Structure 1
Amino acid sequence: MFKESPQTEAPKSFYPNIGQSFLLLIRLTLISIPLSIPYIVVMILNREYELPYGQLLGSFFLLLSYGLSLFIVARLGLKRIRKFDKPEYRLKFNMEPYQVLLVVGLMTVAASTLISAVTDLLPESDWFNDYMSQLAQPNVFAFLAVVVAAPILEEILFRGVILEGLLKNYSPAKAIIWSAVIFGVAHMNMWQTTSAILAGLLLGWIYWKSNSIIPGMVIHFVNNLIGYVAMINAADANESLSDSIGDKLIYGTVLLIALGIFILTWRWLNKRWSSPQAEPAL
Structure 2
Amino acid sequence: MKTTDNTHSIFDDDPLLAEKKKFYPTLGHAWLIPVYSLVVFITFYIAATLAYPGIINDKLLSSLITIPIYCSLLLVMLIYSYNRKKKIEPDYILPFRTPSVAVLLTGPFLMFSLYLFTFGVQEWIHLSAFQEWDSVFLLIREKPVFYCFIYFLIDPFIQESLMRGVILDSFLKNYSPVKALLNVAAISFAFSLSPYTLLYTTSFSLMLSWIYLKTDNLGNTFYMQVLCGLIPALLVFILQDQFNTYVQQALRSPVWVGAAGIIAILCIIVLQTSLPSTNKAIK
Scaled by the length of structure 2, the TM-score of the pair is 0.78
Equivalent residue number for residue 226 of structure 2: 221
Q: Does residue 189 in structure 1 map to residue 189 in structure 2?
A: no
**Contact 1:105–1:218 (CA<8 Å) still a contact in 2?**
no
Instruction: Give the aligned partner of residue 4 of structure 2.
Output: 6
**Which residue of structure 2 aligns with residue 267 of structure 1?**
269
Q: What is the Cα deviation at residue 154 of structure 1?
A: 1.4
What is the CA-CA distance between 1:34 and the residue it aligns to? Answer: 4.3
1:62 touches 1:145 (CA, 8 Å); kept in 2?
Answer: no
1:271 offset after TM fit, Å?
1.7
Deviations 1:172-207 (A, max 9, x none): 111111111111111121112332112111111011
1:235 and 1:100 mapped to 2: Cα distance? 32
- Residue identity in the other structure for 1:74: L
Partner of 2:9: none
2:10 match: none
Distance 1:65 1:38, change over 3 A: farther
| Corresponding residue for residue 255 of structure 2 | 253
8 Å contact from structure 2 (residues 184, 205) kept in 1: yes
Q: Does 1:25 align with 2:25?
A: no
Partner SS, residue 124 of structure 2: coil
Quote the Cα distance in structure 2 between the aligned partners of 1:176 and 1:168: 12
C-alpha distance 47-163 of structure 1, shift in aligned 2 (>3 A): closer
1:151 CA displacement: 2.2
8 A contact 2:81–2:166 mirrored in 1: yes
Unaligned 5+ segments in structure 2 are: 6-13
Unaligned runs of at least 5 residues, structure 1: none
The number of equivalent residue pairs is 263
Q: Share of identical aligned residues, percent?
A: 22
What are the Cα deviations for residues 4-41 of structure 1, in whole angstroms up to 9, with x where unaligned? x6346444121112221111221222333344457545
For residues 71-220 of structure 1, what are the structure 2 equivalents within 5 Å?
Answer: 71-83=75-87, 85-98=88-101, 100-124=103-127, 129=131, 132-136=133-137, 137=139, 138=141, 139=143, 140-220=145-225
Q: Is the 8 A contact 2:110 2:267 kept in 1?
A: yes
> Is the CA contact (8 Å cut-off) linking 2:189 and 2:201 kept in structure 1?
yes
Q: Label 1:74 to 1:122 Cα distance change in 2 as closer, same or farther (>3 A).
A: farther
Question: Structure 1 pair 269/99, CA: closer, same or farther in 2 (3 Å)?
Answer: closer
Q: C-alpha distance in 1, partners of 2:181/2:32?
A: 18
Range with greater deviation from structure 2 (116-125 or 16-25):
116-125
Residues 42-73 of structure 1 show CA distances to partners (whole Å, capped at 9, x for unaligned) of 7633677x8xxx94x65443342122111101
Of 68, 90, 104 in structure 2, the residue corresponding to residue 64 of structure 1 is 68
Change (3 A) 1:234 1:196: farther
User: Residue 91 of structure 1: CA displacement?
Assistant: 1.0
Give the superposed CA RMSD.
3.3
Q: Deviations over 1:107-160 (max 9, x none)?
A: 21122221112221343579x93x632343220224433454332221221111
The normalised TM-score by structure 1 is: 0.78
Instruction: For 1:265 and 1:125, locate their aligned partners in 2 and report how far apart those are by CA, in whole Å.
Output: 25
Q: How much has 1:90 moved relative to structure 2?
A: 1.2
**C-alpha separation between the residues in 1 aligned to 2:245 and 2:194?**
19
Higher helix share: 2
Matches of 1:77 and 1:99, distance apart in 2: 31
1:63 touches 1:142 (CA, 8 Å); kept in 2?
no
